[in-house]
């Protein structure tokens, strides 16, 4: 079983997990958090100035912890780049509908499950492990973030989207 599948099982079967939310742009902070052995890290790209290149540095500093990136929004190319950088999965903020949840899944999965392309980034060890990476690419975790009353009212339909691994509620937003 690959590492992402193992982590999915941990998410599915645990009642409590610890995950610091990283907003500080200094990779050493993430490395220090990794010494505390949280269950995983969340890198907040939505409410910080962290971009994909800085995310990659944070990933290297955080090893071997699983990292989930909360991206800026439902944007196909950002999803592809973040996943190719080597995160275990993504949190897509601002999801309002079943259709947007389906897009989040599609943008995260390679054919035939989705429309995502893959490149020789860090996740494939810069192409050295490309064939293995392609076989595991659809294991990436996809979590949607519900932030509005209208989305919350449709939550049962949204979370039933095939390929979706979870839902993150933005209590401050609500």
> What percent of the chain stands above pLDDT 70?
99
Mean pLDDT of the chain: 95
Over residues 152-159, the mean pLDDT reads 96
Catalytic residue among 5, 6, 47, 135: 47
Residue 174's pLDDT is 75
**Under a CB-based contact definition with an 8 Å cutoff, are residues 108 and 57 in contact?**
no
Side-chain-side CA neighbours of 105 within 13 Å: the count stands at 18
**Under a CB-based contact definition with an 8 Å cutoff, are residues 10 and 39 in contact?**
yes
> What percent of the chain stands above pLDDT 90?
93
pLDDT, tens only, 69-121: 999 999 999 999 999 999 999 999 999 999 999 999 999 999 999 999 998 99
**Does 170 qualify as catalytic in the annotation?**
no
């Amino acid at each position: 079983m690959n590492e992402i599948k193992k982590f999915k099982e941990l998410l599915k079967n645990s009642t409590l997990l610890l995950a610091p939310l990283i907003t500080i742009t200094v990779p050493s902070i993430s490395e220090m958090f990794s010494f505390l052995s949280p269950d995983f890290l969340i890198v907040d790209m939505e409410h910080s100035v962290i971009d994909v290149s800085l995310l990659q540095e944070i990933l290297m500093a955080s090893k071997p912890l699983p990292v989930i990136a909360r991206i800026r929004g439902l944007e196909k190319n950002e999803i592809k780049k973040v996943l190719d950088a080597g995160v275990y999965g993504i949190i897509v903020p601002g999801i309002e509908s079943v259709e947007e949840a389906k897009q989040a899944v599609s943008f995260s999965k390679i054919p035939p499950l989705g429309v995502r392309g893959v490149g020789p980034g860090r996740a494939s060890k810069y192409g050295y492990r490309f064939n293995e990476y392609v076989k595991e690419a659809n294991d990436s975790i996809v979590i949607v973030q519900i932030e509005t009353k209208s989305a919350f009212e449709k939550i049962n339909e949204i979370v039933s989207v095939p390929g979706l691994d979870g839902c993150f509620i933005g209590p401050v937003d609500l």
